[in-house]
Amino acid sequence: MSAPDLTSLPSLPRDDEGPAFAEPWQAQAFGLAVRLSAEGHFTWKEWAAALAAELKAAADRGEPDDGSRYYEHWLAALERLVTRKGLTDTAALAARKQAWADAYRHTPHGQPVLLPKSSS
């Protein structure tokens, strides 16, 4: 095997041959988009367009796009698309995010984190 040495490249980040998820949530966000598309909630073409728009917006803001924030853009695109499709709305997403943060805050270390029944 002759893996090219790319460590000398400042602008061309790369990884090993393994999966390109840096954190578990990235795999989760990835799977959500694939699954929602497979279920017919949006087409893959719509998804590609939403993601491209998000990447372009980031570039227009002058953010360095070296791939490191890729899944953040992926997630933003997914939030935008599911909201636009009426699958959920931004208020529900914000409330649910807060509920998860609270659940982590109030769950003793070592116990599974569960949402209280009332949160929706």
Partner 1 sequence: MDAPHHKHDHQVIPSDPALRTKALESLLVEKGLVDPAALDAIIDAYENKIGPRNGARVVARAWVDPGYKERLLRDAGPAIAELGYSGAQGEHMVALENTPAVHNLVVCTLCSCYPWPVLGLPPVWYKSAPYRSRAVIDPRGVLREFGTELAEDVEIRVWDSTAEVRYLVLPERPPGTGNMTEEELAALVTRDSMIGVAKIAAPRGVEA
Q: How many residues does the chain have?
A: 120
Question: Residue 65 CB, nearest distance to partner 1 (Å)?
Answer: 4
Helix (H, G, I), strand (E, B) or coil at 56: helix
Contact 50, 75 (CB under 8 A): no
Question: Residue 118 CB, nearest distance to partner 1 (Å)?
Answer: 13
Quote the tokens at residue 60.
Answer: 């227009």
Which of positions 45-104 make contact with partner 1 (CB under 8 A)?
A: 45, 47-49, 51-52, 55, 59, 65-68, 70-72, 75, 78-79, 82, 87-88, 92-94, 96-97, 99-101, 104
